């Protein structure tokens, strides 16, 4: 799947039903030895008026992704 196809997908936790964010807003952490994706870093939103300097990132291991569908990415924790 191409980045263009994934960037607008919502990330949903199927255990809690919580919307975690949009994949395009996330950073990706790679393993430098084999080039595989280790995790995605999801910014924790504090509201509409948060500044970039005080954003915290939530690390989600790539293996927690259960399904990549046409509109969303489902994770299970």
Burial of 74 (0-12, 13-18, 19+ CB in 10 A): middle
Tokens 């952490």 locate to 29
Average pLDDT (18-30) is: 94
pLDDT tens per residue, range 25-62: 999 999 999 999 999 999 986 555 555 556 788 899 99
- Listed by start position, the domains of the chain span 3-75
The reported pLDDT for the residue numbered 48 is 56
Task: Output the pTM of the full model.
Answer: 0.79
The reported pLDDT for the residue numbered 10 is 95
Is residue 1 very low, low, confident or very high in pLDDT (cuts 50, 70, 90)? confident
Q: Is CATH 3.40.50.300 correct for 3-75?
A: no
Using alpha carbons only, how large is the chain's radius of gyration in Å?
13
Select from 7, 19, 75 the least CA-distant residue to 45: 19
The reported pLDDT for the residue numbered 56 is 86
53 backbone dihedrals φ, ψ, rounded to 5°: -70, -25
């Amino acid at each position: 799947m191409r980045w263009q196809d994934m960037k607008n997908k919502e990330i949903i936790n199927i255990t809690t039903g919580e919307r975690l964010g949009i994949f395009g807003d996330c950073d990706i952490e790679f393993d430098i030895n084999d080039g595989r994706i280790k995790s995605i870093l999801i910014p924790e939103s504090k509201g509409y008026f948060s500044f970039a300097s005080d954003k915290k990132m939530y690390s989600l291991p790539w293996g927690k992704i259960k399904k990549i569908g046409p509109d969303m990415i489902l994770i299970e924790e």
